[in-house]
Structure 1
Amino acid sequence: MRTSRWLTTLYFVILLLGVLVALPNLLTEKQLEYLPSFMRQTKVVLGLDLRGGSSLVLEVDAKSLKRDQLRTALDNVRGKLREKQIQSTSVRIIGDSIVAVIPDAGQRQTALTTLKELATPISSGAFRASSSDIDVSEQNDAIRVTLTEAGIKYRVNNAVDQSLEIIRRRVDQVGVAEPSIQKVGLDRIEVQLPGLQDPKQLRDLLGTTAKMTFHLVPTNVDMNNPPVGVSILPGYTDENQRFPIYDQVSLDGSVLTDASAGFDPQIPGKSLISFKLNTIGAKAFAEITRQNIGKPFAIVLDNKVLTAPTIQGVIPGGSGQITGNFTPKEASTLAALLRAGALPAPLTVIEERTVGPDLGADAIKMGLYTGIAGFFLVALFIFLLYGLWGIIADIALALHTVLTFAALSLIGATLTLPGIAGIILGIGIAVDANILINERIREESEKGMGAMAALDRGFKHAFSTIIDANVTAAIATILLLWFGTGQIRGFAVTMLLGIVISLFTDVTIVRIIMSWVVREWKITNLHIHSFFKFIPQHTNFHFMNARFIGIGVSIFLSIASVVLFFKPGLNFGIDFMGGSQMAITTKAPADLATLRSTLGQLGLGEIALQNVSNQNTVLIRVQQQDGGEAQQTAAIEKLKTAVKTIYPDVTFDQIEVVGPKVSGELATAGFTAVVLAAIAMMFYIWWRFEWFFAIGAIVTIVLDTTKMVGFFALFQLDFNLTAIAALLTIVGYSVNDKVVVYDRMRENMRLYKKMALRQLVDMSINQVLIRCIFTSTTTVLAMLPMAIWGGSAVHNFAIPMVVGVVIATSSSIFIAAPILLFLGNWWHHHHEGRDLIEDKPQRSQVKAN
């Protein structure tokens, strides 16, 4: 119980620095001005769900990039064969390769050597497995040039890196404050723009390649049967308008140096775009206009004709204008695209989320209120449980919360509403350590030990249980961090920080304070008094008498849950089903029948309407559209237009679009995370205890999980990523609770080797019953305010957590313990004379709770 002075000083410095780092989060913008500049930077960044804005996840179109690379490779192959005067009967793209048929064997060998010169070595990071970007091989009388998988991945990775900078320049043109633009995985980019409420403008800005080219326009062309070398392209603003253009690019858009939106001085109110070319471009532009006076000249953006004016004369200065049926906003967006430059490959919007500022403000308010309420309820409960010693635990909880915010600030994490839920749940779990410690100290004191000895043994015996419980919770949290995305990762980060920090504040700091109080106050005997004196501290229930009833009821509920899983089934959210979801608020009570009738005529498939919170707020869900991600976002625009025709003053609080590719990935990742969590925890318990403990835990996890799935199906709660987070957390908590029971059973098995196993199991459960109830109560109290008032964003997490804690606690007593009893009896029957717990040297030193 003694801590050296230098170590105590170090702990004090850590706490002081934590308070200073977290302090800016409690101050207003005006108050922050009085702080040093370096302290202003430590304020936690709020996520879009707390401050409003738009978020897009873009994916590089690998197929398009591969197609372009094949065309480039085809031109290179033809060029090399011409250069070496090698005769070929055909050179064309077949599948993923370029095949050059060369009948002459000698020329074929020369071609093989020549074409291998086209290969570019790849020596960057993860792509070192392949030596080049193309593979050249001989097959019969042909040479096959194939793009390697490593080469394609390398180019996709480069395209993402180049796109990051171009997107950053485009966003800067819009002038959004504090944008977040980052690479996600190998081929994706996530863009978060706080305050931007027009996702269409964001899609147009980021999802457009902006590849501009200049082409001459042929005359007298049959639009239905154009000649070779001529393509028919649609207009940019009117796709029904069609233009014939020569495929050959007269001038590339890379020579563009500036573009700006303005108005035509000759036609008031008509928007146009002015552009300037660099020196090389200006010279080429002047030559083109000199040679083609009186001919149309098309300006093409992403295979759509912006304009095709007739060249009236030579344009020597490298300046020009693009006219069309643009609105001022469209002209401004186009100018921004042209200024920022073209993307190296098309980007597809695969996920879109928008949160209105009002909804964000409400989320902050409810997150703050429910967080404070949860903390207050837990702190009050601990004080009523342990009096003065409860106040010490409450101080540790406050420090725990402060250090969590400090850690979030230091790592630059973004705080979301699920993140707030993670902090609150972390508080509830952190209290478990204090309950285990205080209950164990109380036990040791009742045995007649002195104050310091009781503290010493209480902390020592509780510590292994605390470690086991935290490790099992951390396993689930790490898997959430690994497989989760977006806000779920935010929840996982805050939970993981909470678990780690709790070992410092709720064990180390509490130990130092308690030992200091005992020394300073010269306490000889510890008496931990509770205001709940009516609760018996020692019970003698015969739980195993009801083991068949407990297991029978559990199996019945699990079977019923499986039935509910198939009918009515889970109410899968758009995270897993794909599609679109929109939350709207109207000034007057919304007429669902009128909305349903109007939206049903849009041809978007099944549309579900649901009132949320009140009659003015409606949640609109649209099924996944055929044709991919682009159709999902187009469906949202149709919905918004139709809703505005009924309610012109409508507010769009929240918009979410999840493409089929993303939804499939999320469903796979969620299922994998739950399964891996159960397996990892089983192996951990097997390692820390014995095989029969692990079997008992895994069977209980399966039964607990099926019941939770049945709960989701029965009450038709949204089963989405938040639900997966709740399931994983409940799995972790369930194992956490069983570790407390198992630890005591293991200890008693070593102390009372001659006691009947049934009697020993009952005794162990009675010894830890009160602390199991107390720890579960603190977690419920922490989550209850959020479950009641937290809002739709966290209901799917908080409500199941409250129910899950009750299920997990009861299953520890009525399922895990009887299973252990059955396995123990079977072991004794088949291995007469051998102990259920083998005294293995490496395990015999582990003290139980």
Structure 2
Amino acid sequence: MLHFSRWKTILIWFVVALGVLTALPNALTQRQIDSLPSFMPSQPMTLGLDLQGGSYILLQVDRDSMTADRLQGLRDEVRVALRNAGAAYTGLADSGTTVDFRLRDPAQAAAVRQALRPITDPVSSGLLAGGSVTEVAVAEPQSGTFRLSLTEEGINYRLSNAVAQSIEVVRRRVDELGTTEPIIQRQGLDRIMVQVPGLDDPARLKNLLNQTAQLTFRLVDVENSAEAVAAGTARAPAGTELLYTTDNPPFPILVQRQVMVSGENLTDAQPGFSQQNQPVVNIRFDSRGAQRFGAVTQQNVNRPFAIVLDNQVLSAPNINEPILGGQAQISGNFTVQSANDLSVLLRAGALPATLDIIEERTVGPGLGADSIAAGQNAGIIAAILVIGFMLAAYGFLGVIANIALFFNVVLIVGLLSFLGATLTLPGIAGIVLTMGMAVDSNVLIYERILEERKAGRSVVQSIDAGFHKAFSTIMDANITSLIAALVLFFLGTGPVRGFAVTLALGVITTVFTALTLTRWMVSYWVKKRRPKEVPTGWFTILPNLTRIPFMAARKVAFAVTIILSLVSIGAFAGWGLNLGVDFTGGTVIEARANAEEADVGQIRSDLAAIIEGDVQVQEFGGARDVLIRFGVQPMDAETPQASINAVRAALSADYEFQRVEVVGPTVSGELALAATLGVIGAMFAIMVYIWLRFEWQFAIGAIVSTAHDVIMMIGFLVITRLEFNLTSIAAILTIVGYSLNDTIVVYDRMRENLRKYKKMPLSELIDLSLNETLRRTILTGVTMMLALIALVFFGGEVIRGFILPMIVGVLVGVYSSVFIAGPMLIYFQLRKVNAKGEVIEEADEKPSANIAMPRTGAGR
């Protein structure tokens, strides 16, 4: 495996050079990037909102209100159809999703069916869909009685169209804010994801997205008293409705339902000032709108004309003279900002349906900068620790491993840049974690080389055999991590996906650098230097040969495992996890005081009158920083985002909002289901792979040991009361992958020894395999711990809750690989024995006698 043809060498270094060039823009300023030649890659990584600040908002079309509007429209269509058919009817009414009426003369039923056909005929679902949709189904429960029902597929069709139209309206509104590179995407049937990086005014964005912006011009009813209707002493006459102005306090106005002119006829809207120097909005109509507006104002001189936006009266000025030029002015209680925002809404157009904000995640630019600095510091310190450790452990071979590690990180960054993937804070953790895991492949190879050398092979033979024998183990170990990352990507959301992307790319680059780049560098060194001995480091963690009787302690270990598992399960049943808003719904706010110190007591007092239920306020990081949590609020069911807006109003004078997460109950339930499916799906997929690669006993052993690791991590989270959120799921799946990685390495050596020592008792063979792999297990565990410890102390407060369970998971994973995965093979009789306890030989076995623990090295 040490021979490389010229074309292979060229291809290897071409890939490395391409990775360096693709990653280069991330180390340059924007001016330097702009000066690069056109053929050079110029796209740096996209930073997530948690790194550069900005807002993530998930919008959902209000299905109920859209269905109600469609039902009202259906009733009007039926009324017109019956009038055109000359049919006398009674009891025309709508309920739920149906419209019912009864003919006075049942003999007219045939004519009515014909009149209703345009309403009930299927409509085309579009050229690309290539089909039709029946929106309305008609039935006759009794003779002369008709029932028209909105179909489910028809409602979904309308919903899909509303989302498609809303995306364009939302895009125009966001573009008007002048932000750079907003991301607006459809999610599922009825949702729109809006991500605006670098936005420093998320409240303004929410205000723009929360309004339907349906502008209408209607005549005011001056013959009836709006105050009497508002007081309940009179009823609104037919054809009118009671609306309120935007004044503080608002006052009622009785307006006609008939829309004289709508916002659909607008061609432009710009903020300006009136002659009294008050902010106004100047609007211009198209030719049809100008003609209609002119006719209405000409026919209704000296009557008030209400300008209505989303069922609120902006103003109701008198028509002093006809307005024939197609231009008008909207006045009201505007500020410069509100006039500008209304202009944005009117220029972008009205939304076809109401959009509710069901999830919000906002990070201030200052917190994003802090996160970047913390991630960079943690990465540098972790790199120094891992590089120094490898150098001390393997000498010159450690230098080669460190070079491979450097290019590994460069290739990850290059791939992230090339794919346009978003780097989040957990993504940085994934890169730093990859640094710790990547050296595992080099440790596997180097320990194998040292073992072959101690067995008497020459230097060249030892190096060649080391790479050859480590190949399958490295592939099996990394494929399990890749499976976990893929499942996490497809079932996860947001930051968890970012972590999954970096982990998956890290697995790919690790396999390339370990099995190709490292092998080439070692081959080149052997060819040029002709070494007489394999280099070693300056210290040894363990002796070359250990003889620890692990299986002798398996019963004690099993007892301890059962006790701890029962304690963890009992604690989970009794206390439960400290679920974050991702799974419970609610709001989390990270705020920074303008003063030198945050007043936690005062915050609780201020919010007690606003928020129902328990409000958690605690110090977070420095003395100026606080973390505020509260559950889903009843007021949000009536007015989305009402609670967070109230909290902002109460605290904005004294506190700066660094981070805001608002998750509705619908989204939290979906996230909980996705997280559960993610864990189960990843474990199942990995187990199937192990079953196919090994024997069924190995798969069962891996299942039990992995379940143990998950139970122990959950027990740790329950006892420490660390918040359990989406990143906790990422931590659990990562540890599942790491533990299985460790288990597979041990199993691979056991499988090799099963073929090599066919009469050795299984307990002795497992002890032998564990001792042979122990040095590698310790070395890999130490590198992982070094990377994780750097993240805990230098990665920032946000990432700490994500990393602490992983540190426990590494320790638990090593324990389960030794004391659970191995003994399970004994209990499931991987190697059959007779009544005397002697190993039953297979037909092709050759007798072997007096086989003791071989005098081999401790590596692989």
**Residues 190-269 of structure 1: pairs in structure 2 closer than 5 A:** 190-219=193-222, 220-221=224-225, 222-223=228-229, 224=232, 225-238=235-248, 240-266=250-276, 268=277
Q: CA offset at residue 24 of structure 1?
A: 0.8
Give the equivalent residue in structure 2 for 1:612.
Answer: 620
Superposed, 1:48-197 pairs within 5 Å as: 48-102=49-103, 107-109=108-110, 111-112=112-113, 115-118=116-119, 119-123=121-125, 131-141=133-143, 142-197=145-200
1:551 aligns with 2:554: no
The residue identity in structure 1 corresponding to 2:392 is L
Who is 1:20 aligned against?
21
Please point out which of 527, 531, 547 is paired with 1:519.
Answer: 527
* CA contact 2:200–2:364 (8 Å) conserved in 1: yes
Distance 1:649 1:90 in 2: 59
Deviates most, 69-78 or 798-807: 69-78
User: Residues 551-597 of structure 1: CA distance to partner in whole angstroms, max 9, x if unpaired?
Assistant: 11122122222232244432211111211111112222222222222
Q: Map Cα deviations across residues 670-698 of structure 1 (whole Å, 9 max, x no partner).
A: 11211222222222211111222111111
Instruction: Report if aligned partners of 1:477, 1:492 keep a CA contact under 8 Å in 2.
Output: yes
Any idea what the Cα deviations from partners look like across 1:500-522, whole Å, max 9, x if unmatched?
A: 12111221111122122212223
Amino acid at match of 1:247: R
User: Hey, what does 1:462 align to over in structure 2?
Assistant: 470
After superposition, where does 1:315-334 map in structure 2 within 5 Å? 315-334=323-342
Displacement, 1:762?
A: 0.8
Distance 2:8 2:136 in 1: 60
Q: 1:481 deviation in Å?
A: 0.7
CA distance in 2, matches of 1:630, 1:35: 54
Please name the residue that 2:827 is paired with: 822
- 1:376-415 matches, cutoff 5 A: 376-415=384-423
Q: After TM superposition, list the pairs within 5 Å mapping 1:579-728 onto structure 2.
A: 579-586=586-593, 587-628=595-636, 631=639, 633-644=641-652, 648-728=653-733
Determine if contact 1:54/1:194 at 8 Å carries over to the other structure.
yes
Secondary structure, aligned partner of 2:540: coil
Shift of 1:764: 1.0
Distance 1:279 1:548, change over 3 A: same
Q: Note closer, same or farther for the CA distance 1:464–1:826 as it changes in structure 2 (3 Å cut).
A: closer
Aligned 8 A contact 1:750 1:837 in 2? no
Distance in 1, matches of 2:704 and 2:752, equals 22
How far apart are the structure 1 equivalents of 2:177 and 2:391?
53
Query: For the residues of structure 2 that align with 1:838 and 1:93, how far apart are their CA atoms?
Result: 82
1:20, distance to aligned residue in structure 2 (A): 0.8
In 1: Cα distance, 2:833 partner to 2:67 partner: 65
Whether 1:491 and 2:493 are equivalent positions in the alignment is: no
Kindly indicate whether the alpha-carbon contact (under 8 Å) linking 2:36 and 2:42 is maintained by their aligned counterparts in 1: no
Match of 1:844 in 2: none
Q: What residue is the counterpart of 1:809 in the other structure?
A: 814
Secondary structure of 2:634's match? Answer: coil
Q: What is the identity, as a one-letter code, of the residue corresponding to 1:780?
A: M
TM-score of the aligned structures, taking structure 2 as reference length: 0.92
Q: Determine whether 1:574 maps to 2:584.
A: no
Tell me by how many angstroms 1:808 deviates. 0.4
Distance 1:144 1:632, change over 3 A: closer
Q: Map of 1:722-741 to 2, 5 A cutoff?
A: 722-741=727-746
- 1:830–1:76: structure 2 CA closer, same or farther, 3 Å change rule? farther
Q: Pick closer, same or farther for the CA change 1:698–1:112 going to 2, 3 Å.
A: farther
Deviation by residue 1:165-217 (Cα, 9 ceiling, x = unmatched) = 21121122221223222222332222222332222211111121101111111
**Structure 1 residues 429, 687: closer, same or farther in 2, change over 3 A?**
same
1:334 Cα deviation after fit: 1.1
Q: Is the contact made by 1:273 and 1:331 (CA closer than 8 Å) also made in structure 2?
A: yes
Distance 1:553 1:128, change over 3 A: farther
Q: Could you tell which deviates more after superposition, 342-351 or 4-13?
A: 4-13
Aligned partner of 1:46 in structure 2 is 47
Shift of 1:81: 3.8
Instruction: Work out the CA distance in 1 between the residues paired with 2:657 and 2:152.
Output: 43
State the distance in 1 between where 2:124 and 2:767 align: 66
- Return the alpha-carbon distance in structure 2 between the equivalents of residues 174 and 836 of structure 1: 78
Deviation at 1:625, TM superposition (A): 0.5
Secondary structure at the residue paired with 2:275?
coil
What displacement does 1:32 show?
2.6
Which whole-Å CA distance do the structure 2 matches of 1:831 and 1:610 have between them?
Answer: 65
Letter paired with 1:612: F
User: CA 1:318–1:838 in 2, change beyond 3 Å: closer, same or farther?
Assistant: farther
Match of 1:431 among 414, 434, 439: 439
AA partner of residue 292 (structure 1): N
Unpaired runs of 5+ in structure 1? 840-847
CA shift, 1:338, in A, is: 0.7
Q: 2:852 matched to which residue of 1?
A: none
1:30-41 aligned within 5 A = 30-37=31-38, 39=40, 41=42
Q: 1:435 to 1:106 in 2, by over 3 A?
A: farther
Instruction: Calculate the TM-score normalised by the size of structure 1.
Output: 0.93
Alpha-carbon deviation of 1:836?
11
Measured after TM superposition, the shift of residue 499 of structure 1 is: 0.9
Change beyond 3 A, Cα 1:716–1:683:
same
- Give 1:85 shift: 4.0
1:480 matched to 2:488? yes
Contact kept? 2:283, 2:327, Cα under 8 Å: yes
Partner Cα distance (1:567, 1:782) in 2: 34
**Is the Cα contact below 8 Å between 2:356 and 2:640 reproduced in 1?**
no
Partner residue of 2:544? 537
Q: In 2, distance between residues paired with 1:758 and 1:32?
A: 61
**Bigger Cα displacement from structure 2, 689-698 vs 110-119:** 110-119
Cα distance change, pair 579–534 in 1 and its aligned pair in 2 (3 A): closer
User: Partner of 1:842 in structure 2?
Assistant: none
C-alpha separation in 1, matches of 2:793 and 2:569: 28
Aligned to 1:443: 451
- 8 A contact 1:578–1:657 mirrored in 2: yes
- Per-residue deviation, residues 781-807 of structure 1 (Å, max 9, x unmatched): 122211112112211221111111111
State whether residues 588 and 616 of structure 1, in contact with CA within 8 Å, keep that contact through their aligned partners in structure 2: yes
Distance 1:108 1:765, change over 3 A: farther
Change (3 A) 1:233 1:836: farther
User: In the alignment, what sits opposite 2:855?
Assistant: none
Seen in structure 2, the aligned counterparts of structure 1 residues 689 and 725 have a Cα distance that, compared at 3 Å, is: same
Question: Structure 1 residues 440 and 111, CA, compared in 2 at 3 Å: closer, same or farther?
Answer: farther
Residue 824 of structure 1: SS of its match in structure 2?
A: coil
State the distance in 1 between where 2:154 and 2:533 align.
70
Are the counterparts in 1 of residues 439 and 780 from structure 2 also a CA contact under 8 Å? yes
CA distance in 1: counterparts of 2:288 and 2:827, whole angstroms? 86
Matches within 5 A, 1:741-780: 741-780=746-785
The residue correspondences of 1:345-360 to structure 2 (distance < 5 A) are 345-360=353-368
For the residue of structure 1 that corresponds to 2:820, the secondary structure is helix
Give the drift of 1:763.
0.8
CA RMSD of aligned residues (A): 2.6
What are the Cα deviations for residues 395-453 of structure 1, in whole angstroms up to 9, with x where unaligned?
Answer: 11111111111111111111111111111112222221111111112222222223333
The separation in 2 between residues aligned to 1:300 and 1:455, in whole angstroms, is: 81
Q: Aligned to 1:365, what secondary structure does the other structure show?
A: helix
Contact 1:166 1:343 in 2 (8 A): yes
Is the contact made by 2:21 and 2:41 (CA closer than 8 Å) also made in structure 1? no
- Once the two structures are TM-superposed, the CA of residue 833 in structure 1 deviates from its matched residue by 9.5
Q: Is the 8 A contact 2:565 2:711 kept in 1?
A: yes
- Cα displacement string for residues 73-132 of structure 1 (whole angstroms, at most 9, x for unaligned residues): 333333334444455444433322334545877754554465444334445599678753
| Residue 239 to residue 346, structure 1, CA distance change in 2 (3 Å) | farther
- Between the two proteins, the alignment pairs up a number of residues equal to 836
